[in-house]
Amino acid sequence: MARFDIVGQLGSLRRYARALTRDSADAEDLVHDALVRAYERRGTFRSSGNPRAWLLAILHNIFIDRMRSRRSEAARIEQAGRLAEQNMPASQDHSVRLSQVR
């Protein structure tokens, strides 16, 4: 892999992460995760490629993965809430009435 200046790309990564997340702490986490993934997959970088574009693509993909994961988790929580409401025991009045009917 050709060497390129990661430090020189940090400003672009941070600006893009901040634009995506609208939160500085989340943006820093996103940049960190992107750099870790870039390091882990450094063998996939083509020496003729643009390092900035490659890093920004990684950052963008991690952001999309997080958004999908959060939506999926929110849907599971919502579904669990609906199931919990459906499985609640009958109120005392209903229980008494059912006993009388039996």
Q: What is the pLDDT of residues 18-57, one digit of tens each?
A: 999 999 999 999 999 999 999 999 888 888 889 999 999 9
Q: Is the dihedral of CA 63, 67, 69, 73 positive or negative?
A: positive
> 2 pLDDT exceeds 50?
no
User: Residue 1's pLDDT is what?
Assistant: 41
Average pLDDT over residues 3-22: 91
Q: What is the pLDDT of residue 80?
A: 82
Longest dimension (CA), the chain: 82
Average pLDDT over residues 97-101: 79
Alpha-carbon span 64 to 66, nearest angstrom? 5
In this predicted model, what pLDDT tens digit does every residue of 61-94 receive, in sequence order?
Answer: 999 999 999 999 988 888 887 776 676 666 777 7
Top CATH class of 7-63 equals mainly alpha
Domain ranges of the chain: 7-63
What was the pLDDT predicted at 78?
87
